Structure 1
Amino acid sequence: MTEFMFVVANKYKLEKKLGSGSFGDVYLGTDVELHNEVAIKLELLKCKHPQLKDEFELYQKLIGDKKEEHEGISGIYYYGQEGDFNVLVMDCLGPSLEDLFNYCGRRFSLKTVLMLLNQMLKRLQFVHSKGYIHRDIKPDNFIMGNGEQSHVCYLIDFGLSQRYLNQNKEHISYSEDKSLTGTARYASLNNHLGIEQSRRDDMESLAYSVIYLLRGSLPWQGLHVAKGENRYNKIYSKKVEIPVSQLCENLPSEFGSFLSYCRNLKFDEEPKYDFWRHIFQQVAQNNSIIFDYEYDWIIKRKAEKELV
């Protein structure tokens, strides 16, 4: 979509394109009444696999009316149709962890990862408590807030999310022959095997995400795939053949323990979110780390300002 004057619900004006996703495009916008920035998602009405309405309805279920109960989940201001598009207006947030990872030279310090992981576990616990799984946990889908919320890590992009509890609060049934859903780099072993996803898969994807942020990369990135080979199968084989001890070499042992724990969760088992938050808080204490929200990118920005 080219840049043009476009006003949503006679209130939200598109300013500039911020990025694209499987659903469509995201724009920076302005609330012309309150003069504050918002993010505006546009999805073509005729797109093959519409996601925006489902995402809007999920945000409604997550947020409800009590703002204080969902730190790290974006506020939603409008959903509807404008011209050829489905439109979702939401909080304008800061950069993603993937963006900040690149800015910081593609590696985060232990301190930064521990401060983030403490919040990431909270976000998963909250979403799971509402009966949903995310199904695309990765650094790109964790976004830092703006202004007074710039220290808060938000979980976004619920386009692939689904219920794992039915209307009677019963866990969905185990099933197989599913397609891989999400991002192969961070996909759980069971996701690769075509097994129905549940809470354990979000947790395993989180483990890969934080190991990636500490290591700088994962061994199954950039694999050469010969003609006729299946890329997903090759990634799966690499994940299986690399011992956890090797994957987490030079990291505190708790990260390897966390990955092993996630891989061994039963299909309908509730993860021990608080237990692992406590474990990683102990890792912080053992390394004299204080959760002061002085992330790597904050330190880098300060250093760059001093050079000017």
Structure 2
Amino acid sequence: MEHIIIEHEIACGGFSKVYKGKIRGMSLPVAVKIVDPPINSILAHERKIMEQLPRCEYFPQVLWFGSINNKLALAMDLMGQTLESYLSNKEFLLYYPYHYSSKILTSLHLLHKAGYIHKDIKPTNICLHLNSPLSICLIDFGISELYLEPDTKTHKLRRINEFEGNLAFCSENVACGISPSRRDDLESLCYLTIYMIKKNLPWLKAGGNKLESLRIRLNSRNKLIKNVPSEIKNILDYCKSLTYEQKPDYKYIGRMFNTCYKKAYGKFNNTEVIPNKKRHKKRRKSLQEYKYDNSESAFDTIVAGLPEITPRVRAQSKYLDWIRTNKSCGCCSIFEYN
């Protein structure tokens, strides 16, 4: 009797298919990845990595591993749609690229701390949670690897004989045949962020032509960063400046994403502090009333200059205190790298 009940297919790749299913005796739905025999070793490798990652929202948990109809299968947490699918949604708001980039940065930081690099960052390898679309999960660790040599525990620069990953979002060094390191995962994240902002990258028109893709990359720097926030340009320049073995400053990158998020969120909500011309009577110390938005910096600036706290300001203060003490909620996760 099979341990897994297969319901229907939800995704497919070159040598694998993903199904929605259930573990027999349990009502919780799961995602079941089934691979063709030639890549059994890749699925076993993926399972090994997933079991060494921390149990948290950023990685799916392995629930079962075995064979179905003589094919190797891996059951894991069921996620929602991919980031690629969500990008085409009309509800993909102005500040979402920076929110999701901050989340992906956290997942990469945790992955790197566990000793691994992903090597295949792209929108289809980022899934949103079923009941919390502002939370993400990093998937597909089939070509992920330890970035430290198992014997010497050093990070050695080497050339790669065969390209692995994807041409669209890989770093320039990887496209040139240099083995990836932590910096390359982060450079891929930069390209993913720009893709979320512009829905395109200059070299995507090259398709699978590696030489043409590389030629366009090297000649389209200005086109790539046009109409992109300066903070994203700074992150990209920083990632390119890292040496092969150098540990990235994740907090610096997080602060840059945080700044972009706040600016974009402010534009989306048309946030500004608007003074009301009506004044209180002199016995109330000549206070002005203000309409407050959810701009934290504007709020702090205005409150610092007020001699008294009005009921409206007091309510806003309580709201912001709630945000500061509940950083784990989806909409406030951007403050993680403050």
Q: What's the TM-score once normalised by structure 1's chain length? A: 0.82
Runs of 4 or more above 4 Å deviation: 287-294
Amino acid at match of 1:87: A
Amino acid at match of 1:240: L
- Higher Cα radius of gyration: 2
**Residues 37 and 169 (structure 1 numbering): CA distance in 2 closer, same or farther, change over 3 Å?**
farther
The aligned counterpart of 2:157 is 174
Amino acid at match of 1:62: L
Q: Per-residue deviation at 1:94?
A: 0.3
Amino acid at match of 2:51: Q
Say whether the 8 Å CA contact 1:23–1:50 is kept in structure 2.
no
The aligned counterpart of 1:3 is none
The aligned counterpart of 2:103 is 119
**Residues 150 and 177 (structure 1 numbering): CA distance in 2 closer, same or farther, change over 3 Å?**
closer
Q: Is 1:241 equivalent to 2:219 in the alignment?
A: yes
Say whether the 8 Å CA contact 2:94–2:265 is kept in structure 1.
no
Q: Is 1:53 equivalent to 2:47 in the alignment?
A: no
**Residues 128 and 169 (structure 1 numbering): CA distance in 2 closer, same or farther, change over 3 Å?**
farther
Q: Is 1:44 equivalent to 2:48 in the alignment?
A: no
Structure 1 residues 191-270: aligned runs within 5 Å: 191-223=174-206, 231-243=209-221, 245-270=222-247
Deviations 1:123-162 (A, max 9, x none): 0000000110000001111100112x43311100000101
**Residues 177 and 153 (structure 1 numbering): CA distance in 2 closer, same or farther, change over 3 Å?**
closer
The aligned counterpart of 2:10 is 18
The aligned counterpart of 2:302 is none
**Which residue, out of 77, 85, 103, partners 1:91?**
77
More contact order relative to length (CA 8 Å, sep ≥ 6): 1
Structure 1 residues 265-304: aligned runs within 5 Å: 265-289=242-266
**Residues 29 and 86 (structure 1 numbering): CA distance in 2 closer, same or farther, change over 3 Å?**
same
Distance 1:171 1:109 in 2: 42
Q: Is 1:82 equivalent to 2:68 in the alignment?
A: yes
Distance 1:41 1:8 in 2: 15
Q: Is 1:31 equivalent to 2:14 in the alignment?
A: no
Deviations 1:54-87 (A, max 9, x none): 0001011113xxx3xx321101111112332001
**Which residue, out of 163, 167, 185, partners 2:168?**
185
Amino acid at match of 1:237: R
Q: What 5-or-longer segments of structure 2 have no aligned partner?
A: 267-293, 295-326, 332-338
Amino acid at match of 2:228: L
Q: Per-residue deviation at 1:285?
A: 2.8
Say whether the 8 Å CA contact 1:23–1:51 is kept in structure 2.
no
Deviations 1:15-40 (A, max 9, x none): 00011124411000023422121000
Q: Per-residue deviation at 1:169?
A: 7.1
Q: Is 1:71 equivalent to 2:48 in the alignment?
A: no
Q: Per-residue deviation at 1:183?
A: 0.6
Q: What 5-or-longer segments of structure 1 have no aligned partner?
A: 1-6, 225-229, 295-308
Partner of 1:27: helix, strand, or coil?
Answer: strand
The aligned counterpart of 2:282 is none
Distance 1:75 1:231 in 2: 36
Deviations 1:179-235 (A, max 9, x none): 2210101111111111111111111111111101101111111238xxxxx810110
The aligned counterpart of 2:289 is none
**Residues 53 and 217 (structure 1 numbering): CA distance in 2 closer, same or farther, change over 3 Å?**
same
Say whether the 8 Å CA contact 1:74–1:154 is kept in structure 2.
yes
Q: Per-residue deviation at 1:287?
A: 4.2
